[in-house]
């Protein structure tokens, strides 16, 4: 019994309900396209459920950007004052600035909350692609998904090699698409919407490397995870790219390159 089981079972219910709905509309229950749409439905349900956390994160980024000049001025004012009383005053004023701008102490909560969801999704896709029943995904549905094919490649298939050129092209295409979408979202939408003027150089360098590292990580993982999970990654990366574009265009962080570009 895993702590992620309740989440995995909830997500399995989404897959099962979507599959039932599609087959009732005449879709082939064993078709790879039907199962691909089921996976896309999981992405849609999860990402819609997480939208309040996305909104919270955008608001916190804006609040932090508005408070940044005051926090920098405060830091400069207390730069050479290291006695306990001065430190207490500085912390008190920092808390007041944060309260004035409605900055939450739980600014990282959206990211933390998403971690178990992604892990549960990974285990669900990996298990059912292997024919293992999970919650509402009984053994029959799990076996159907694991036997389904996408462009001739089983959704349960793993790795780049071992089943001919067709297998290689499909797996490499899915992994490459997920990597490209992730790189584009982080490089051209997320990074320009981030203020790094007062970020330590080491952290700034890490942020610049993040798009490439994320893309490389997906390409490497593409050689070991089920094709079903690659389908999920492509759908999820597409949603991330679209969502990041909306934030970049209409809700840019004040003081970021994105905000400057939008004003121009």
Q: 232-251: per-residue pLDDT in tens? A: 999 999 999 999 999 999 99
User: What pLDDT shows up at residue 9?
Assistant: 93
Rounded to whole angstroms, the Cα distance separating 204 from 199 reads: 6
Question: What is the distance between the terminal CA atoms of the chain, rounded to a whole angstrom?
Answer: 55
Whether 42 contacts 120, CB under 8 Å = no
User: What pLDDT shows up at residue 201?
Assistant: 76
User: What pLDDT shows up at residue 262?
Assistant: 57
Number of domains in the chain: 1
User: What pLDDT shows up at residue 18?
Assistant: 97
Rounded to whole angstroms, the Cα distance separating 167 from 173 reads: 10
What are the residue ranges in the chain where pLDDT is below 50?
none
Range of the domain at 12: 5-263
User: What pLDDT shows up at residue 108?
Assistant: 61
pTM of the model: 0.88
């Amino acid at each position: 019994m895993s702590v992620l089981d309740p989440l995995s079972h909830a997500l399995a219910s989404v897959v099962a309900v979507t599959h039932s709905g599609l087959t009732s509309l005449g879709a082939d229950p064993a078709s790879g396209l039907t199962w691909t749409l089921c996976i896309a439905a999981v992405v849609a349900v999860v990402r819609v459920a997480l939208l309040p956390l996305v909104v919270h994160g955008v608001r916190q980024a804006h609040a932090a950007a508005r408070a940044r000049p005051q926090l920098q001025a405060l830091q400069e004012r207390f730069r050479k004052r290291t006695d306990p009383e001065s430190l207490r005053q500085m912390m008190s004023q920092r808390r007041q600035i944060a309260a004035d701008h409605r900055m939450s102490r739980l600014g990282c909560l959206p990211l933390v909350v998403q971690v178990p969801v992604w892990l549960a999704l990974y285990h669900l896709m990996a298990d059912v692609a292997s024919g293992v029943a999970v919650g509402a995904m009984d053994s029959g549905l799990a076996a159907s998904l694991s036997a389904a094919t996408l462009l001739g490649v089983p959704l349960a298939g793993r790795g780049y090699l071992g089943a001919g050129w067709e297998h290689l092209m499909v797996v490499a295409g899915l992994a490459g698409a997920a990597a490209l979408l992730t790189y584009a979202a982080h490089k051209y939408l997320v990074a320009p919407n981030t203020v790094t003027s007062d970020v330590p150089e080491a952290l700034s360098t890490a942020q610049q490397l993040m798009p490439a590292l994320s893309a490389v990580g997906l390409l490497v993982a593409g050689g070991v995870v089920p094709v079903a999970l690659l389908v999920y990654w492509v759908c999820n990366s597409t949603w991330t790219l679209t969502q990041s574009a909306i934030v970049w265009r209409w809700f840019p962080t004040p003081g970021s390159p994105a905000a400057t570009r939008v004003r121009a």
